[in-house]
Chain A
C-alpha cells in the first residue's frame, strides 16, 4: 500500500515531519490547494487567519484508482482510526 499525504505545507516542513514520524508516507505539497480543490476538499476561510485549508480526509483507492473507502472529517478533532484504514485497504 502506498500512502500519499497531501497538504499545503512547503516540502521542507513535510520532510521534517516525515523524518520525525519515520513514516513510509510520501508527502506531497499542494501549495495552492489546486488538487485539494479539484477533489472538493477545501474548507473556505477555515484557517486561523482566514485562509483556505483542506478538509481532513482519508481516501482508500484500489489498484485501478477507484475509491473504495472514504472518510471526510466533520470535526477536526476526529480522524480515522488507522486500524479502520488498514482494514479497508487490505486485500485490494
Chain B
C-alpha cells in the first residue's frame, strides 16, 4: 500500500483542489482565483509523474491520467470557455450612467434617476438563472 502512497497523494491533491474550489465558492478570495484549482491539478500531475518515472505501475499511471485530464479540462474552462468579451465603451468612471426604467419583482416601475440626490446606487448586471 505504501508503495502507492505518491499515487494516492496525487489523487487526493487533484480531487481536493476541485472540491475545495466548489466548497469555498462563496469566499471571494477563493472564487476569484480560479488559477488555484489549476495549481492543485498541476501539483497532482507533478507528484504522479514522479511516481510513474520511478515505477510505471497502473495506479501511478491512473493518477497521472486523472490529474493531467483535469488540468487540461480546467485550463480550457478557465482560459477559453469562461472568458467574456470586453464591454462596449458606454460606462466610464466620472461620467453619468444612462437613465432607464425597468419593472421590479413586484411589477412596479423603477427609474434610475429617481434615486438622484437621494442615495448612491449599485447596479449589478447578472446573467440570471438557466
Which residues from chain A contact B121 at a C-beta distance below 8 Å? 1-4, 60-61, 65
CB-based contact A38/B100 at 8 Å? yes
Range of interface residues on B (Cβ < 8 Å): 35 or more
Question: Which one of B86, B103, B126 contacts A56 once the chains associate, using CB atoms below 8 Å?
Answer: B126
CB-based contact A60/B91 at 8 Å? no
Interface flag for A22 (CB, 8 Å): no
Q: Interface readout for B81-95 with A: 1 if CB under 8 Å, 0 if not?
A: 011111111111111
CB-based contact A38/B98 at 8 Å? yes
Question: Which one of B91, B93, B115, B125 contacts A7 once the chains associate, using CB atoms below 8 Å?
Answer: B125
CB-based contact A57/B125 at 8 Å? yes
Question: Which one of A36, A44, A67 contacts B93 once the chains associate, using CB atoms below 8 Å?
Answer: A67
CA distance A4 to B95 in the complex (A): 19
CA distance A79 to B126 in the complex (A): 10
CB-based contact A55/B123 at 8 Å? no
Given A8-B128, A13-B128: A92 in contact with B120 (beta carbons within 8 A): yes
Within 8 A of B (CB), among A78-92: 78-83, 85, 89, 92
Question: Which one of A39, A53, A60, A78 contacts B90 once the chains associate, using CB atoms below 8 Å?
Answer: A39
CB-based contact B34/A63 at 8 Å? no
B90 to chain A minimum Cβ distance, whole angstroms, is 4
Which residues from chain A contact B95 at a C-beta distance below 8 Å? 66-67
CB-based contact B119/A54 at 8 Å? no
Chain B, Cβ-Cβ closest to A51:
B130
CA distance A84 to B129 in the complex (A): 25
Which residues from chain A contact B115 at a C-beta distance below 8 Å? 2, 61, 63, 65
CB-based contact B90/A28 at 8 Å? no
Residues in B lying within 8 Å of A, measured CB to CB: 28-29, 31-32, 34, 78, 82-100, 102-107, 110, 112-113, 115-130
Q: List 21 A-B contacts (CB under 8 A).
A: A1-B121, A4-B124, A7-B126, A9-B128, A18-B105, A30-B102, A40-B89, A40-B91, A46-B84, A47-B130, A53-B128, A55-B87, A57-B91, A58-B125, A61-B97, A61-B115, A72-B91, A73-B84, A74-B86, A75-B82, A77-B31
